Structure 1
């Protein structure tokens, strides 16, 4: 039987739930008929699958053609399914992606368009951002990633970030099968980068230059703060600050000293930049240690 586009808006049962469902039909028979609209399966994919596997002729119910099939599917499923925000986001994304004319023709004979992202978000009580994340997962994710979100195993925000980070669908599937933690770890620390996107590795010398630049900026800021603290004018309302002015200046000065000793000054004269116990395996020394090593010579 041909499926109506709206039939797949809601996800199929997971394997465990489906096996229990099928066992119930085998023992007690099909309790609810499969809904058909204009010859197309509208609701009851799990029932149809179970009946076919059990060799049972499925009971069907023909919905009046005047009824909007999409509205019917939504109202019939939302109240009986306990979906989280991510799952509702996936439903909304599918709803917003339905082809033109999936619901019905208007009285004028023109085909109706699917709801916009904003309209679908409102219908499913989620944010447009959640819907857009879900659309990204559907468009760029493997079947396993989509399934994980639809069955509530993976949050849609995590999945959207994951499919952006890892475009290879085979790799996506492999990681999703390992579990949510593997997906999160891959987002935080990707297992591999495409060659052209690999972050450049710094040599110890380059890292030292980078550290020196950053720390020098911090030192400059601290010195400026000390200058400002010293120049605070004596005026009403500043009594408390002025009473602690010298203490504040000392704290800033102490911070300046602490930063200054961490700024790379020169290549370690002992290891020539290779890293040793003397320089803490950094390959460089600060100005204090540089002076001490010079004196030892």
Structure 2
């Protein structure tokens, strides 16, 4: 069988780093290609790196065909689920794959909804009779919670990855992909202009962290001032320790909790006022 390479499928999953590829090559040279390559008819679906290594070194390999695929979308969904089940991929990669799955599921749901509407319009009930309610067969749209569950991440992290994908420069995306900057910090830097992002990436890890910290501080400065609380000085005040990113995230989390509590109190007061006006 002549195996075909579909470039869209080959590049659909995050490529291996140079060190990962070398480790895989060493394993195959020493132990052979133990896992079978997965095909869709004669198109390679899973095992592009193994296939390349085996071809270069003349190493035999096995293939298996998945006959459940109906179209390219089925193939992509299988590739996503297959890679989400692996432990070696990063949180960012998990989020990207889960968001890709969300788009496929959403597109299918909208397509099915359009088909169902067209079928309902084509089958008109007899005059004077109402159409019997039909049980919906439309796929539900994937919520952010569903996507987070599939990726084994928090909904907040999924939101940050969405922001990175929408507004981050390719250079910033590469920085978070390689672990130079955290997802949370990258989402903050992604709110800057393209020029500012490029400058931060060019400055390396420290400059990226500094840019992320400045964005957080600027955002916090725009929030309403809170009443000071009596509390013991943090240990960092005694030892001249500079706040770490974890300290800043904890502070931001506490600020958001307090803001949320204030908003809930405001909503309750407004609801009470509405009730009083209605009953007046």
Name the larger-Rg structure.
1
Scaled by the length of structure 2, the TM-score of the pair is: 0.50
Scaled by the length of structure 1, the TM-score of the pair is: 0.48
